[in-house]
Amino acid sequence: MSTHQFQAEVNQLLQLIIHSLYSHREIFLRELVSNASDAIDKLRYLSASDEAYKSVAFDPLIRISFDAASGTLTLEDNGIGMNEADLVENLGTIARSGTRRFLSAMAEDKRRDSSLIGQFGVGFYASYMVADTVSVLTRKAGEEAAWLWTSDGKGSYAVEPAARDGHGTTVTLSMNDDGREYLSSWRLEELVRKYSNHVAFAIRLSWEEDEYDDKGKKTGRKKAKDEQVNSAQALWRRNKSELKDEDYVEFYKNVSDSEEAPLLWMHTRAEGTIEYTSLFFVPSKAPFDLYRADYKPGVKLYVRRVFITDDEKELLPPYLRFVRGVIDSEDLPLNVSREILQQNRVMNNIRSASVKKVLSELKDLADRDREKYGAFAEQFNRPLKEGLYSDFGNRETLMELVRFKSTGADGWTSLAEYKSRMKDGQKAIYYVTGDAEERLRKSPLLEMYRKQGVEVLLCFDEIDELVIPMAGKYGDLELKAVNRSGADKEFEGQKDERKEKDLAPALARIKAALGDQVKDVKLSSRLSESPSCIVVDEHDPSMQLQQFMKSIGQSEGIDVKPILEVNGDHPMVSALASEADESRVADVAFVLLDQALIVEGAPLKDPADFVARMNRLIAR
């Protein structure tokens, strides 16, 4: 027998699970059943695709048994099994479990949602919420040696040679006081039906119960009971007419490790040249890793009900990474590799049709239930915008699906709704970009549009600067950014040449004072209250885009100077024409620029200098 220490992260994980997730104890069974199902899936795949495993017997079964007297619960499967190296790798170290990412997410998620356990594949450790000690007896398919892993979860585990008839794994829990409530047939059956009813393999529950005579008295003998307690059907293979909403919700909770019902689901069976079945769900809340590069894909791929992978990010495009569910193909080869998946014509057709189906269902939801679609937009609007950038073939549909906040309506609004509210003669859809909705609502850039009664879309996602200019148009309407020079020409009206002539010296003095801090200084037609604002030339990157590119380390060549626009009717500006003190002109010029930068959420190069200039002006 050899004794090993858990890695430090696993020790930390065990303490967190044991002491912080006690209110979710029952999910231990869901996780053990899920592990058993995965082990059988792996063997089924190998027995169909790998010559080395084709002689291995495949008669899938998951069995749960318990002994209330001894306080033990056992879960047995005849799946792929493990050898000594697998035990150490899977149960004693970080390995594939994703424990470190799990711990990071748990630290961020103050609710400590139990659904995180399943998402990271560390569910085996949930056993320690209900057990004092856990043993794992296992034998890998195709090998003769069996191994026994045991641990009390307090820092170390032991691995020793053992004996087992046939391949597979047996997990035995010695239940603690909290876990004894699960040593009953009705409680275990309840949990299996709740969490694992649609596992595609039979789950049998075996136990002994007291025998009674005809008069209802105990005979002192026990009788064995053995019952299948799940439906053992792949739900996506059943006809939609047979299924109720509760069936879909239950299945979703099982495949997504979520306790909440989905917002929407779509069940499709395609027949003809290419045959496949898909069942997709849209969650009601965004997955915690939605914006992480190492996000876990939500769609599982099956070939003729044989599980192939749940770790392929190309089954749906990245902007639909929030979708959960399954694709089951009749036409793909069982030994399909990741490289083949990316180039396979059948998979490409399935992917294309699946994307159109998801977008079509979202469009239908938007048309029939504005409030529910608003809840969707609150969670997933940004990923859809990513699709505008990456999915040219579906851009028109995505333009109908993306939503915006606006100066002309409460809540979320669509481009179609904006168009329906446009003023007569208006030639473009106007939008402003920035880093926060409330900051944009107060932006000086909107003063003229507000005065003219022109609606402006508020775009505060950091990707808006990339995707909206790329979209270019909505139908025949150009999308115009109000924070670009020239966007106000439609509303300029007749120029006041006398005012321009009177203020020309002030503009020249401001420009001379600022030097290379700005690209130009202009008299603004868009300001009515504020003294100044900043814009950029039509083809220059905005201040927000410059900040975004710098944040991702792509700053070379994008440090573009802004254009300062000033309000000729504001006393801070008009007084400069007759100001004799050049130092005061410089102070006012820099304050006009810095104030405009602050309002736009851009950083000041020298905050101390700004404060000093403000203090001097106030003192005067």
pLDDT, tens digit (0-9, with 9 covering 90-100), for 548-590:
666 666 666 567 788 999 988 898 888 887 777 888 888 999 9
Distance between CA atoms of residues 359 and 355, nearest Å: 6
Which domains, ranges and CATH numbers included, belong to the chain? 2-228 (3.30.565.10), 235-367 (3.30.230.80), 399-490 (3.40.50.11260), 493-619 (1.20.120.790)
Between β-strands 156-162 and 72-77, what pairing exists: parallel, antiparallel or unpaired? unpaired
Check residue 410 and give left, alpha or beta (phi > 0: left; psi -120 to 50: alpha). beta
| pLDDT over 60 (residue 296) | yes
| pLDDT over 60 (residue 111) | no
Backbone angles phi, psi at 211, to 5 degrees: -100, 140
Among 207-216, 470-479, 481-490, 604-613, which stretch is predicted with the lowest mean pLDDT? 481-490
Q: How far is the CA of 318 from the CAs of 191, 257, 293, 358, 504, in angstroms?
A: 34, 20, 10, 13, 52
**Which tokens go with 240?**
């939609």
CA-wise closest residue to 196 among 20, 23, 26? 26
Distance between CA atoms of residues 490 and 488, nearest Å: 5
- Convert 150-181 into a string of H (helix), E (strand) and C (coil): EECCCCEEEEEEECCCCCEEEEEEEECCHHHH
Check residue 157 and give left, alpha or beta (phi > 0: left; psi -120 to 50: alpha). beta
Tell me the mean pLDDT in the region 281-289.
Answer: 93
Q: What is the reported pLDDT for 546?
A: 67
| pLDDT over 90 (residue 318) | yes
Distance of CA 62 to the CA centre of its chain: 32
Between β-strands 2-5 and 532-535, what pairing exists: parallel, antiparallel or unpaired? unpaired
**Which tokens go with 520?**
């130009």
Read off the pLDDT of residues 50-77 as tens digits, 9 standing for 90 and up: 888 888 888 899 999 999 999 999 999 9
| pLDDT over 50 (residue 528) | yes
pLDDT band of 97, cuts 50, 70, 90: very low
Q: What is the reported pLDDT for 549?
A: 67
Read off the pLDDT of residues 149-184 as tens digits, 9 standing for 90 and up: 999 888 788 999 999 999 999 999 999 998 999 999
Q: How far is the CA of 594 from the CAs of 34, 558, 603, 612, in angstroms?
A: 58, 20, 9, 12
Read off the pLDDT of residues 380-408 as tens digits, 9 standing for 90 and up: 999 999 999 899 999 999 999 999 999 99
Check residue 199 and give left, alpha or beta (phi > 0: left; psi -120 to 50: alpha). beta
Q: Is 460 helix (H, G, I), strand (E, B) or coil?
A: coil
Distance between CA atoms of residues 255 and 259, nearest Å: 11
How many residues are there in the chain?
620
| pLDDT over 70 (residue 271) | yes
Distance between CA atoms of residues 601 and 604, nearest Å: 9
Q: What is the reported pLDDT for 400?
A: 97
Reported as type and span, the H/E element at residue 77 is: strand 72-77
Distance between CA atoms of residues 133 and 153, nearest Å: 7
Does the pTM of the predicted model rise above 0.75? no
H helices present in 404-458, as ranges: 415-421, 437-441, 447-452
Residue 87: count other Cβ atoms within 10 Å of its Cβ: 20
pLDDT band of 26, cuts 50, 70, 90: confident
Question: Can you point out the beta strands (E) in 344-451?
Answer: 404-406, 409-413, 428-433
| pLDDT over 60 (residue 267) | yes
427: exposed, middle or buried (Cβ count in 10 Å: 0-12, 13-18, 19+): exposed
Q: What is the reported pLDDT for 206?
A: 95
- Convert 3-72 into a string of H (helix), E (strand) and C (coil): EEECCHHHHHHHHHHHHHCHHHCCHHHHHHHHHHHHHHHHHHHHHHHCHHHCCCCCCCCEEEEEECCCCE
Is the pLDDT higher at 464 or at 94?
Answer: 464
- pLDDT averaged over the chain? 85
Specify which residues 429 forms β-bridges with.
Answer: 479
| pLDDT over 50 (residue 119) | no
Among 202-206, 426-430, 549-553, which stretch is predicted with the lowest mean pLDDT? 549-553
The percentage of residues in the chain with a pLDDT greater than 70, rounded to a whole number, is 87
Read off the pLDDT of residues 592-611 as tens digits, 9 standing for 90 and up: 999 988 888 888 888 899 89
The percentage of residues in the chain with a pLDDT greater than 90, rounded to a whole number, is 41
